[in-house]
Structure 1
Amino acid sequence: MNIAFLGLGRMGRELVPHLIDAGHSVTVWNRSPEPAAVIGRRGATVASTAAEAVDGAQTVVSALFGPDTVREVITGAGLPFADGALWIDVTTVAPADAEEFAAWAGEQGIRYVHSPVIGSLAPARAAALGVLVGGEHDAARDARTIVSLWADPNKLRMLDSPAKAAAGKLVANLALAVSIEGLIEALRLGEAGGLSPNEVLETLGITALAPVAAMKGPTVVGRSFDDTQFSAALLAKDTRLMLATSVKPLPAVALVADALDRAIASGHGEEDFSVIADD
């Protein structure tokens, strides 16, 4: 299959090799050329523009920064999608955005599926991500054959609309945001009570915070945030989508959103989101 892949951020660079290894012909585009050059050496064709990448593609996969970037690169750009092409958007967006993009795609004769991923770079590399697939039945079925290349089969969920897939991704990222705050506060409380950081992490290992303690505990304790699995800037963008989507207050999310904004203002936006431990 001829596949166009738009957006080679940290996650996009992990997903494209799965398409290449499965035998697909992949043309990539990225705003900055360096990531595209790396993927080009991996076996993809590098396009100089998004329009060039999309031209002639049966399937277009987009993994962009957020909904505004989707509008800039895709829905507002007049890209030459083939009639009936399948557009799989991996970008984290709000449910209202997904509805907007689905409506636009329908007007253009494009089949739209929203398929965000749940997990970080190591699971992406290992084809062990959680994956949500939301769209019209036949389009979602066809998209599943693509996104299953980077999914853990036990963590692939089919939903009946793009908006539900978008909501599911925000729920997953809310859990991540609130959990990291819980880890940070538990370490602070433990320190005040005379526990060592390792004793706090051992205790958290038998609690509901066990997953985030195992995943981010050493990073937070070591105060080393350079190994970015999920940047502070990305999670900040996602918390804004959560707050804009919910009709009721999300005070825990708002707290983390403020901490992320302070980290970005201090020049740490491209570091791992756990950098808020230094707040």
Structure 2
Amino acid sequence: MNIAFIGLGNMGEAIAQNLLKGGHVLTVFNRTKEKADALLQAGAQWAATPAEAVERAEVIFTMVSDDGALRDVTTGEFGFLPALLEGAIHVSCSTIAPDTSRQLAEAHQQRNTVYVACPVFGKPEAAQAAKLWLCTSGNEAGKAKIKPLLELIGQGVYDFGEDVGAANVVKLSGNFLLGCAIEAMAEAFTLAEKNNISRTAVWTFFTDTLFNSPVYKNYGKLVAEEVYQPVGATPALIRKDIRLLLDEAQKALVPMPFGQIVHQQLTATVAKGVKDIDWAGFAGEVSENAGVSKR
């Protein structure tokens, strides 16, 4: 299959590599060409613009930072939408507002092309290992056609129906749950530390017993050790996601006080200029407020 991939950050590059390993023809675009070097050496083709990338593509994957970036590469001055082949499928893996997906799906429909939402869960190392969890929503025929491609990049695909914004709601909800888990662990481990109990001993106990799950094991290790490396996503990026979550909550009249707490912690971290750490580093706000911060 002829595939285009637009957006080659840590996640995008890893996903694109697995599509290329699947034997497909791949054309890539990224604002910084150097990020495509490994893919080009592996056989991918370079395009100078998003529109050029999709000229022969049956399926287009996008993995960009936010709603504005997605609109820019799709419908902007050099966007690819006018250049798409009839029937081409746009698979959007970005974390964006549900209404952005709905608006882009309508724009695609007007051009006889298809938009499918497919946000992903997993860190870059999961993307490299093709172990992502994928959420889909949108056009049924489009989802059926891309399923073999999704099986190359993830360990499971969960569909949420024809409302193309549904998968984005699930993605925002998932990031909210992750944020709450990080905040809860930060508070619990800091309480232990203030009582002269090892943070890592508490993490080991709980993840061996009551909270034996990937989220508590993986994010919990970062929080317990207060070493927020490697960087999966930055605090600024996930702060944007929680802001989108709260916007959806306001529209739906759903009070989300814990969402406000996570957003405030991320805001404080970003405001202090804490960079080059995983977003779980916002847990350092709890330690800092307790007078034991190592961040």
Q: Into which bin does the TM-score normalised by the smaller protein fall?
A: over 0.9
Aligned to 1:140: 143
Counterparts of 1:251 and 1:37, CA distance in 2: 44
SS state of the match for residue 43, structure 1? Answer: coil
Match of 2:167 in 1: 165
Match of 1:220 in 2: 223
Tell me, yes or no, if structure 1 residue 250 matches structure 2 residue 256.
Answer: yes
| Consecutive unaligned residues in structure 1, runs of 5 or more | none
Residue type at the aligned position of 1:201: W
* Counterpart residue number, 1:193: 195
Which segment is superposed worse, 127-136 or 206-215? 206-215
C-alpha contact (below 8 Å) 1:5/1:61 kept by paired residues = yes
Structure 1 residue 216 displacement after superposition: 2.2
C-alpha deviation, 1:277, in angstroms: 2.3
Query: Which amino acid letter does the alignment assign opposite residue 228 of structure 1?
Result: V
Task: Indicate the SS of the match to 2:204.
Answer: helix
| Deviation (angstroms), 1:93 | 1.3
1:273 is matched with: 279
Give aligned pairs, total.
Answer: 277
Q: Which of 176, 179, 195 in structure 1 is aligned with 2:178?
A: 176
**Who is 1:16 aligned against?**
16
1:158 is matched by which residue type in structure 2? D
**Structure 1 CA distance for aligned equivalents of residues 43 and 265 of structure 2:** 40
Q: Is the 8 A contact 2:222 2:229 kept in 1?
A: no
Q: 1:156 aligned to 2:157? A: yes
1:62 aligns with 2:65: no
Q: How does 1:197-216 map to 2 (within 5 A)?
A: 197-205=199-207, 206-208=209-211, 210-216=213-219
Q: Distance in 2 between matches of 1:2 and 1:269?
A: 38
Q: Which stretch of structure 1 is more off in the superposition, 115-124 or 259-268? A: 259-268
- SS state at 1:198 partner: helix
Residue 259 of structure 1 aligns with which residue? 265
Do the aligned residues in 2 keep the contact of 1:183 with 1:212 (CA within 8 Å)?
A: no
Task: Assess if the C-alpha contact under 8 Å between 1:173 and 1:238 holds in 2.
Answer: yes
Please list every run of 5 or more consecutive structure 2 residues that lacks an aligned counterpart in the other structure.
Answer: 286-295
Contact 1:133–1:144 (CA under 8 A) maintained in structure 2? no
State the TM-score, normalized to the length of structure 1. Answer: 0.93
| Displacement of 1:270 | 4.1
| The 10-residue stretch of structure 1 (261-270 or 134-143) with the greater mean CA deviation from structure 2 | 261-270
The answer to which of 238-247 and 34-43 deviates more is: 34-43
- More displaced, 184-193 or 3-12? 184-193
CA deviation map 1:231-275 (0-9, x unaligned):
212211110110011132211111111221222223334420111
Shift of 1:213: 3.2
Using the TM superposition, give the Cα deviation of residue 210 of structure 1 relative to its aligned residue in structure 2, in angstroms: 4.7
Q: Does the CA contact (< 8 Å) of 1:243 and 1:254 recur in 2? A: yes
- Give the alignment's TM-score, normalised by structure 2: 0.88
Q: Where in structure 2 are the equivalents of 1:72-83 lying within 5 Å?
A: 72-77=72-77, 78-79=79-80, 80-83=83-86
**Runs of 4+ residues over 6 Å off in structure 1:** none
| 1:260 partner SS | helix
Q: Which deviates more, 3-12 or 89-98?
A: 89-98
Q: CA deviation at 1:170?
A: 1.2
Change (3 A) 1:270 1:98: farther
**Equivalent residue letter for 1:258:** Q
2:203 touches 2:224 (CA, 8 Å); kept in 1? Answer: no
Aligned equivalents of 2:244, 2:261: Cα separation in 1: 14
- Inter-CA distance 128–51: structure 2 relative to 1 (3 Å threshold): same
Structure 1: how far apart are the matches of 2:126 and 2:107? 32
